[in-house]
Structure 1
């Protein structure tokens, strides 16, 4: 859609921080930097990929076709060779990814009975119901009992069970987002840092294991780390999943979110207090509570198996071509969805993740123009990250290059457009040798590592490095630093809040001519140094001894001898 340009995010923030200029001063790359990244090139890629012409880059749309063609062309121009699937004895630019696609034929009809009276619920406003991905051709629930199950966690290794043997088969279970530790900051789940038990993906999976007819997550902005607009825009459009042998084992018939106000009302109409019930859920002795509510959801769905694409280029190594270092970024966004207040329906995804794609293309160029690395460098743009890390999950289960000989994976998902920072970070707090290497290379560049400032958001589980980690491959997602040269931590935090509330998974995530690329350039330079180190060494990074990913890595140890 053609729109009157908004102020760029950098400009908006410059107005909110007294004394800050619209852009940050450029930071010169150290003299030893092997490649000078070009801000104009980065900007052009983001502008093109984030334009309305690409229609929000949703899988299985004309936007995907244009995106795959653009990335393949840019990889070739950067100097890469095709690195995807082999067809007729030749590598292609893509890896086909079969996905189950599901979308409602018409808006579902949803209601809840409270105090014996029916209440109509509006899709996208009171509730966000996802099109089914359990293999059903729709959702048909009538008068189904509703049970509140706290945080919906079953973690025997932590001595925690929110279900306590209560039979929830055939019922809709309502649960809180995040972990039981979130409110108090301490407990069985490591304090503020979200574990996988806090992610909505886990909660749906556990609901399916319990035989529930549905799982509804109660939205609250702080523990979710994003507002209702993000929930609505991410869950009321077309859904995808990888093709599974038994999808019902992973997905209950109904998956969705509800507004906090609706949860409060359901609890109150059951003669209970939401705050008290929420406090009780933080304790190990919590037991499920059946509410005096009955849910109705009816909606036919169109489902089919489609094929999306991961885009893959390779620079073969000169000495050890069978060993690979992977750079990755997801190419997809939300496509065309519900209109915002301005009538805009295109979710452009310029920052998320046009920035990561721009970096990926230019990082490929940086290696192709330099001396040939000893190990092979793989550059991968994966599909369907926004639908649950599906493209990377498919790759991890069907690797084009053996996991055992993959040195590491360096992921970029949302990069800085507000200037350079003195520090840098990664998503989550995982312990692995790859982080030690990153810190060492950053020190040479005069930069300081800062641990994830908001581990409660569960960032580690929200990007494609996570699926590689589960396969044992050392993997990190670099995130921009907090201590900006212009405005410090205060300006960085203000930007993050503005981005999350007004732009994240919303149509206004559009390219701006006001952006400052010095931060992207500094981060790209750091990631180049790390990749070069890995490519020209005999190092095989691993996870810490106490990491949940160590065992998977160690199972492939023989491949590296």
Structure 2
């Protein structure tokens, strides 16, 4: 796989090999202090539009200023205003399903997790809405696939599987095990709106979702955010949520169907929607309001080509204060996700600030509302502070440090781009080899802020530290990663621990710094591989970059 990627890209090693100043020795204790500070209870889980945001963005701006950066936000400030629709469910939603003549009440966060409506409406009132199983809920004309043929979903509730049709079989019309965008929950919600459904319920299963029910519950039953849209109903239905697999299996059984058999049928292009002979009732009040959150932006102007930009990015937000865990803890501190990425961003800013100025400008961007759907980076990419056409590349950091020292590195997803070639060469000087994303089926490429740039053509990747541990190898690395996903990811337990092993930090930071310097001090414009879906968009802006 590594050889395939490296030989299919356009730039030769000589072309991308711009010399870079030697990376400094990074202050691991200072990085740890940044993580500890941002993940402390005083920052209340860094929820957008909360006192935790005010503290977080002030701290980040203060550290950027101390590092020698200049403010790059709106009107000469450190901040870019990001208007967002904020929605909360008021009180306890009343939810039930009626099947085989029996009405079954559902408990929010237990069998079901519904989100506050993102349509701007102040209440949800659904009565006797029929449930219809629509397989994976995919409409992909380019793949000759349509899960909606012959069905009218107006006034009905879509019941849909997570991931895409190739997940279980590992091969098919969707490229095999690696998730396409059709597998993301965001796509399911968007397609439900296009189909005119009254609501959508995604069936949760840990393997195809790549996380457990605790993550679903914690991510969907608190405050919701979205970008401000002219027509929100074009992207959202009134009720969006998830149900547990066991509830889905019971519904299928009561309808005289077998859940696993229906899943198998949904993996084929001739699948047709199946009525589940059940109805849903939902009633709850929603409080919508438009608020302003903030991206934080600091820049080091380039010495020779200040109008050209290299971006380092990381999201500063987490889930804030939410439902208590078994210990009664309600603060979702987000130490690894993503105080660690912000700490890396700040330490890189300090390194650049004390080194010779780069030829291109380097923008350090801490974005908001990643946990709500990449909203801060989406807003930046739609309203860039620096032109995207002359942005040479984006290096995103979302949990950038290994659990321990590793022999490899990776990135989210399996996209092919020149920036990966540069990253592979850079990491090689640290004795680290590239390993393809170990979980392409998790769709991580679509779940971090680099995607907002990638879909607009900008070469962008999200760095992953790998998991082939020097002590214990890939098996132990996987075990530690799985334990984090199961026990800490999007849970109050994602807290700073002074006993963390920081063995990977120096190497990870050196790789990130050197990659950015090579890009900032070079004259190349990395691109996507010729068969990438993002290549044409980037090529359309080539005239803006000159020679």
Relative to the length of structure 1, the TM-score reads 0.93
- Counterpart in the other structure of 2:185: 200
- Counterpart in the other structure of 1:252: 237
CA shift at 1:79, angstroms?
A: 1.2
CA shift at 1:99, angstroms?
A: 0.1
The answer to whether the Cα contact below 8 Å between 1:417 and 1:515 also exists between their aligned partners in 2 is no
Matched residue SS, 1:402: coil
- Counterpart in the other structure of 2:318: 333
CA shift at 1:500, angstroms?
A: 0.5
The answer to whether the Cα contact below 8 Å between 1:56 and 1:333 also exists between their aligned partners in 2 is yes
- Counterpart in the other structure of 2:510: 525
The answer as to 2:172 corresponding to 1:187 is yes
CA shift at 1:32, angstroms?
A: 7.9
- Counterpart in the other structure of 1:74: 63
Say which of 24, 46, 49 aligns to 1:57: 46
The answer as to 2:302 corresponding to 1:317 is yes
CA shift at 1:544, angstroms?
A: 1.1
- Counterpart in the other structure of 1:84: 73
Matched residue SS, 1:100: strand
* Residues 181-237 of structure 1 deviation map (CA, whole Å, 9 limit, x = unaligned): 100100001111000000000000001000011111000000000000000000000
Matched residue SS, 1:106: strand
- Counterpart in the other structure of 1:508: 493
The answer to whether the Cα contact below 8 Å between 1:329 and 1:382 also exists between their aligned partners in 2 is yes
Say which of 244, 251, 254 aligns to 1:269: 254
Deviating above 6 A after TM superposition, structure 1's stretches of 4 or more consecutive aligned residues are none
CA shift at 1:518, angstroms?
A: 2.4
| Cα distance in 2, alignment partners of residues 318 and 542 from structure 1 | 24
- Counterpart in the other structure of 2:375: 390
| Cα distance in 1, alignment partners of residues 516 and 21 from structure 2 | 15
| Cα distance in 2, alignment partners of residues 238 and 118 from structure 1 | 29
The answer to whether the Cα contact below 8 Å between 2:162 and 2:183 also exists between their aligned partners in 1 is yes
Note the 1:405-416 alignment, pairs <5 A.
405-416=390-401
Note the 1:203-282 alignment, pairs <5 A.
203-282=188-267
The answer to whether the Cα contact below 8 Å between 2:402 and 2:467 also exists between their aligned partners in 1 is no
| Cα distance in 1, alignment partners of residues 228 and 328 from structure 2 | 34
- Counterpart in the other structure of 1:444: 429
Matched residue SS, 1:163: coil
Matched residue SS, 2:170: coil
Structure 2 stretches lacking a partner, 5+ long? 1-19
| Cα distance in 2, alignment partners of residues 502 and 486 from structure 1 | 22
- Counterpart in the other structure of 1:5: none
Matched residue SS, 1:181: coil
Single out whichever of 371-380 and 415-424 deviates more from structure 2.
Answer: 415-424
| Cα distance in 1, alignment partners of residues 121 and 420 from structure 2 | 43
- Counterpart in the other structure of 1:552: 537
CA shift at 1:418, angstroms?
A: 2.3
- Counterpart in the other structure of 2:83: 98
The answer to whether the Cα contact below 8 Å between 1:179 and 1:197 also exists between their aligned partners in 2 is yes
- Counterpart in the other structure of 1:178: 163
CA shift at 1:392, angstroms?
A: 0.3
| Cα distance in 1, alignment partners of residues 93 and 263 from structure 2 | 29
Matched residue SS, 1:484: coil
| Cα distance in 2, alignment partners of residues 335 and 220 from structure 1 | 25
Matched residue SS, 2:437: coil
| Cα distance in 1, alignment partners of residues 408 and 445 from structure 2 | 19
| Cα distance in 1, alignment partners of residues 336 and 381 from structure 2 | 25
CA shift at 1:521, angstroms?
A: 2.2
The answer to whether the Cα contact below 8 Å between 1:373 and 1:532 also exists between their aligned partners in 2 is yes
Note the 1:295-306 alignment, pairs <5 A.
295-306=280-291
Matched residue SS, 2:92: coil
| Cα distance in 2, alignment partners of residues 491 and 39 from structure 1 | 24
The answer to whether the Cα contact below 8 Å between 1:98 and 1:305 also exists between their aligned partners in 2 is yes
| Cα distance in 2, alignment partners of residues 371 and 517 from structure 1 | 28
Relative to the length of structure 2, the TM-score reads 0.95
Note the 1:367-382 alignment, pairs <5 A.
367-382=352-367
| Cα distance in 2, alignment partners of residues 38 and 487 from structure 1 | 26
| Cα distance in 2, alignment partners of residues 453 and 33 from structure 1 | 31
CA shift at 1:82, angstroms?
A: 0.5
The answer to whether the Cα contact below 8 Å between 2:302 and 2:361 also exists between their aligned partners in 1 is yes
CA shift at 1:471, angstroms?
A: 1.1
* Residues 162-189 of structure 1 deviation map (CA, whole Å, 9 limit, x = unaligned): 1113111111000000011100100001
The answer to whether the Cα contact below 8 Å between 2:402 and 2:465 also exists between their aligned partners in 1 is no
Task: Give RMSD over aligned pairs.
Answer: 1.0
The answer to whether the Cα contact below 8 Å between 2:252 and 2:258 also exists between their aligned partners in 1 is yes
CA shift at 1:37, angstroms?
A: 1.0
The answer to whether the Cα contact below 8 Å between 1:50 and 1:510 also exists between their aligned partners in 2 is yes
Note the 1:18-29 alignment, pairs <5 A.
none
Structure 1 stretches lacking a partner, 5+ long? 1-30
The answer to whether the Cα contact below 8 Å between 2:21 and 2:517 also exists between their aligned partners in 1 is no
CA shift at 1:417, angstroms?
A: 5.0
Relative to structure 1, the CA distance from residue 424 to residue 442 in structure 2 (aligned partners, 3 Å threshold; closer, same or farther) is same
The answer to whether the Cα contact below 8 Å between 2:529 and 2:535 also exists between their aligned partners in 1 is yes
The answer to whether the Cα contact below 8 Å between 2:93 and 2:282 also exists between their aligned partners in 1 is yes
Say which of 21, 25, 39 aligns to 2:28: 39
| Cα distance in 2, alignment partners of residues 516 and 373 from structure 1 | 32
| Cα distance in 2, alignment partners of residues 210 and 125 from structure 1 | 28
* Residues 528-558 of structure 1 deviation map (CA, whole Å, 9 limit, x = unaligned): 1110001111110111111111121112111
